[in-house]
Amino acid sequence: MLESLASHAAILLMLLLVTIAVSTVLLVVLFKTKNTNRELSIENSQLLLQQQNLSAQHETVQSQLTEAQQTTLNFQTQVQLAQQELARTQADKHGLETRLQERDQRLEQITLELKQQQQTYQQDTQRLQSIQNELSNELTELKTSLTEKQQHFEQQKKDIETQKQQLKTEFSNLANQILEEKGKSFSQSNKSELDAILKPFKEQVEGFQKRVNEVHSESVRGQAGLAAELKKVLEVGVKMSDDATNLATALKGEKKTAGNWGEVQLERTLQLAGLMKGDHYETQEKFVDGDGNRRLPDFVIKLPDDKHIIIDSKVSLVAYDKAIAANNELETNAALDEHVGAVKNHIDDLSKKDYSNLVGMRSPSFVLMFMPIEPAYIEALKHKKDLFNYGYDRNVILVSHTTLMPILKTVANLWRIEQGNVEAKEISERAGEIFNQVCLVAERLQKLGNTLNTASKQYNETVKGIAGKQGLHGKVERFERLSNKVSKSMPKLEANHADIDYDRLDLIVESVSETETPAKLEQSAEEPTQ
């Protein structure tokens, strides 16, 4: 188009030059022909007028050409800017679409993970509920069984006492009756009658003696085969007796040995209840009291919420052994008094140590005193009825294996429940974090959509500036007709429309929200803020 304008301008210039040349020739001819001054003046005036007209036309054409060139340059600049803006917008759009696809995929993955976490949480909750129900049923069955056994035992005891009294009465009556009958018989009978009475008895005795001899012969033959087995059993019994004697001697000899043995028995009881060292209890853990003195409780049972129960093992065997070996009731009572006194000394010693007030100890105000020898524990309580209250008043609770086991089982169940609560809390916190991440992705997608809308609006405004009714295309359209070197055509530009489905994102967020309880959503939302 610029070349076409230049060619038109050149033609006009040529015409102007030709005109000037012709005018010059005419002037020369006029001068040569020496026409009259008037004619020359008129022609000269006409030529001057024509020259002025041609100059004015030349200036007009030159001005139009300059304007056309400036318009063309402006148009080219606007076209280049529009193309650059279009390319940049398309690149941004492509990048945003790619990021949007990636975010969609990530959102779907997070939603799937959240559903899996929710299923796992529900399964764990059901499992914990099942365990709790089983433990509750087991506890109920044990209580019922214990009650039934206690009732059965009491009934058997009553029946035995009743039968014993009945047998005693019947035996007394029968003995009196026999004595009366025999007395009457001896006073009224003679020697012949006595012989008649004793003869059947003599025959029965002879028959019984014969049978005894036969049984004795058979037993001698049978005992010959059992001699070796009886010898082995006797040897094992002797060895067990020696071991028991050695153990009793060791326990009675050194307090340290007896204490170690009692601690071993107590630790076995803890392990039988399902408690693990390090996780649920500690042995000989170091503490200090208010005066800075070091204290070493035998066992510290850990409870949830950093609480503790203290158990100390005490073995009291010397006096109890004397009570067992006593020959009469007086010696037995004296030995049992000594045994109860030893137990009271242990109680007083534990009470003075005041383990429950040690630094760092969160324990109830009492200490459990474990007596590993169950019969010694029972005999002490039977002999001294208020022995348990004596310890209770001094914040010391007497326990044995039988009475300690339910307490330890309760502790083990508390730890199982605590572990279930910790796992449920971790699952809840994890679900809250995932939900927060989903919300964050949704917020970023919302910002991305706003950015896409802004880019789309800018693109539409640029298209409108080029292809609209008052756009550049309408202004330069005539250049296409003026130039014969136009080889390209203006592409059809259309406004872009945002087709992002924001409703779908809202539905995803709502579906995720429905899987969480309101309380946990508030908790998970508050934690990142804090």
Q: Could you report the per-residue pLDDT of 12-21, keeping only the tens digit for each?
A: 777 777 777 7
Q: How confident is the model at residue 493 (pLDDT cuts 50, 70, 90)?
A: low
**8 A C-beta contact, residue 368 and residue 310:** yes
pTM: 0.39
- Mean pLDDT over residues 194-199, rounded? 50
What's the rounded mean pLDDT across residues 377-403? 87
pLDDT in the model for residue 290 = 67
Confidence check: pLDDT of 203 > 80 = no
Q: pLDDT band at 38, cuts 50/70/90?
A: low
Whether the per-residue pLDDT at 303 is higher than 80: the answer is: yes
Question: Is pLDDT larger for residue 504 or for residue 481?
Answer: 481
pLDDT digits (tens, 9 = 90+) for 240-299: 444 444 444 444 545 566 667 778 888 888 888 888 888 888 887 777 776 777 777 878
Q: CA-based Rg of the chain, rounded to a whole angstrom?
A: 60
Rounded-to-integer distance, Cα 440 and Cα 2, Å: 57
Calculate the average pLDDT of the chain.
70
Here the tokens at position 464 are: 């409108």
Helix (H, G, I), strand (E, B) or coil at 258: helix
DSSP per-residue letters across 372-422: S-HHHHHHHHHH-TTHHHHHHHTTEEEE-HHHHHHHHHHHHHHHHHHHHHH
Task: With beta carbons less than 8 A apart as the criterion, state whether 432 and 527 touch.
Answer: yes
Report helix, strand and coil shares of the chain as percent, to nearest 5. 80, 5, 15
Residue 497 pLDDT: 61
Task: Find residue 398's DSSP bridge partners.
Answer: 369
**Count of CB atoms situated within 10 Å of the CB of 474:** 12
How many Cα atoms sit within 13 Å of 469 on the Cβ side? 0
* C-alpha–C-alpha distance, residues 124 and 175, integer Å: 74
Q: Is residue 524 predicted with pLDDT exceeding 70?
A: no
Q: How far apart are CA 298 and CA 264, in angstroms?
A: 11
Query: What pLDDT, on the 0 to 100 scale, is given for residue 470?
Result: 64
Helix (H, G, I), strand (E, B) or coil at 492: coil
